[in-house]
């Protein structure tokens, strides 16, 4: 970029999208600062495993100069996929070829560490929770954080996920509940503590559904397995049932009743988990979600186009980040760069969102989608 002085770029959110954007900008000699509400890199569990696709997520990692390091960390065997019926009968089994690299799996935490460790020291400012954005549309913008600090920026990039604060500066849209909810369960030391479940899941994932209920078990690194109990229920189904998320026994009894007709082996995915469940109702933004161009604010990833978890979330976020960073590197002004980025990103995300609109219910279909693409964001 040829502008003088260099634009002050503030990226809100240190997820894969925000970090990828910062890394590719740095590869082109452009400084950006990432602000994140977490107290540090290890403040919370980063979630399950992701599959990064050759035609989007891996493109971003190549531009970031991190693709070979990714392949060293990734688990190509994680592309294995098993599909069962509620009786536990195996209906479909995909075993990846030894050299299959189209969508290898990597844990979210490992991907985040790969990106964090590639950035210049001080790029990420932890413990910065954005409260509001002020200032004129033409800039500069003021970012007001909950700790009372304010910083000034010439471009604010909203990479802050489903409940983005940055989105409010350009759009009044809010995520809506899809009618489908995930309940996450964890299994640790699977090979020794849960050998039957480890055998059921294999090296990748195993899924089953009956139209209203589903189970998806997913191998993570470090001998961990995550299971997602998928239901068509109200978003507040736990409290509506007189329960709390801490009431593991009560929730388990409720689920066992709901899944009473399922095979005992599959029901162990409900009964044998270690620790508390995690409630994850699935939300999505209205389709299409677009906004009037703003020269000083733009969005990427879930902040721009939150969709059901059917294999596109992180991949699209990283592709967005890549294209935004390259646009900033190759245009003379921030405004021109944002125009060029949104001209590509908005039609692409709208097309994908239309395809996935209402598709959360496909997670419960007896004709299951290819769960090997599910990235569970």
- Give 33-52 pLDDT, tens digit per residue: 999 999 887 776 666 788 88
362 pLDDT above the threshold of 80:
no
Residues of the chain with CATH 3.30.9.30: 178-283+362-373
Output the pLDDT for position 3.
44
pTM (2 d.p.): 0.90
Output the pLDDT for position 358.
76
What kind of fold does domain 178-283+362-373 have according to CATH?
A: D-Amino Acid Oxidase; Chain A, domain 2 (3.30.9)
Q: Which CATH number fits domain 9-80+101-174+285-360: 3.30.70.1450, 3.20.20.80, 1.10.10.60, 3.50.50.60?
A: 3.50.50.60
CB burial of 362-377 (b: ≥16 within 10 Å; e: otherwise) equals bbbeeebbebbbbbbb
366 pLDDT above the threshold of 80:
no
165 neighbors 307 (Cβ within 8 angstroms): no
pLDDT band at 355 (very low <50, low <70, confident <90, very high): confident
Output the pLDDT for position 374.
40
Q: What is the mean predicted confidence (pLDDT) over 256-280? A: 94
Output the pLDDT for position 46.
60
12 pLDDT above the threshold of 90:
yes
Higher-confidence residue of 157 and 95: namely 157
CA 280/CA 64 separation, integer angstroms: 31
Higher-confidence residue of 356 and 306: namely 306
Q: What are the tens digits of pLDDT across the range 145-155? A: 999 999 999 99
Q: What is the mean predicted confidence (pLDDT) over 161-181? A: 96
Output the pLDDT for position 22.
98
Residues of the chain with CATH 3.50.50.60: 9-80+101-174+285-360
87 pLDDT above the threshold of 60:
yes
Q: What is the mean predicted confidence (pLDDT) over 79-87? A: 89
DSSP 8-state symbol, 122: T
276 pLDDT above the threshold of 70:
yes
CB burial of 305-330 (b: ≥16 within 10 Å; e: otherwise) equals bbbbbbbbbbbbbbbbbbbbbbbbbe
Mean pLDDT in the chain? 90
């Amino acid at each position: 970029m040829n502008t003088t002085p260099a634009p002050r770029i503030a990226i809100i959110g240190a997820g894969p999208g925000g970090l990828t954007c910062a890394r590719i900008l740095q590869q082109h000699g452009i400084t950006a600062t990432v602000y994140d509400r977490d107290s540090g890199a290890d403040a919370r569990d980063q979630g399950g495993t992701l599959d990064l696709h050759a035609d989007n997520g891996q493109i971003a990692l190549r531009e970031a100069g991190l693709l070979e390091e990714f392949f060293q960390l990734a688990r190509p065997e994680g592309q294995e996929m098993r599909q069962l019926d509620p009786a536990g009968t195996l209906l479909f089994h995909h075993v990846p070829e030894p050299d299959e690299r189209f969508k290898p799996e990597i844990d979210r935490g490992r991907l985040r560490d790969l990106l964090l460790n590639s950035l210049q020291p001080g790029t990420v400012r932890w413990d910065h929770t954005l409260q509001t954005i002020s200032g004129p549309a033409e800039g500069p913008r003021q970012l007001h954080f909950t700790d009372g600090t304010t910083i000034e920026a010439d471009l604010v990039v909203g990479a802050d996920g489903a409940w983005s604060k940055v989105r409010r500066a350009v759009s009044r849209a809010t995520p809506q509940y899809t009618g489908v909810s995930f309940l996450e369960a964890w299994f640790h030391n699977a090979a020794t503590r849960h050998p039957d479940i480890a055998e059921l899941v294999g090296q990748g994932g195993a899924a089953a559904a009956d139209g209203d209920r589903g189970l998806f078990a997913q191998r993570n690194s470090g001998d961990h397995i995550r299971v997602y109990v998928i239901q068509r229920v109200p978003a507040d189904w736990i409290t509506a049932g007189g329960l709390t998320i801490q009431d593991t026994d009560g929730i388990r009894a409720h689920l066992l009743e709901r899944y009473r007709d399922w095979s005992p082996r599959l029901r162990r995915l409900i009964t044998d988990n270690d620790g508390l469940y995690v409630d994850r109702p699935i939300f999505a933004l209205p389709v299409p979600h677009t906004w009037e161009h703003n020269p000083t604010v733009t969005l990427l990833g879930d902040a721009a186009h939150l969709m059901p978890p059917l294999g596109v979330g992180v991949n699209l976020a990283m592709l967005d980040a890549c294209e935004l960073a390259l646009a900033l590197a190759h245009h003379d002004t921030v405004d021109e760069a944002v125009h060029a980025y949104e001209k590509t990103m908005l039609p692409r995300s709208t097309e994908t969102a239309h395809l996935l609109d209402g598709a959360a219910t496909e997670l419960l279909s007896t004709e299951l989608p290819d769960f090997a693409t599910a990235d569970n964001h």
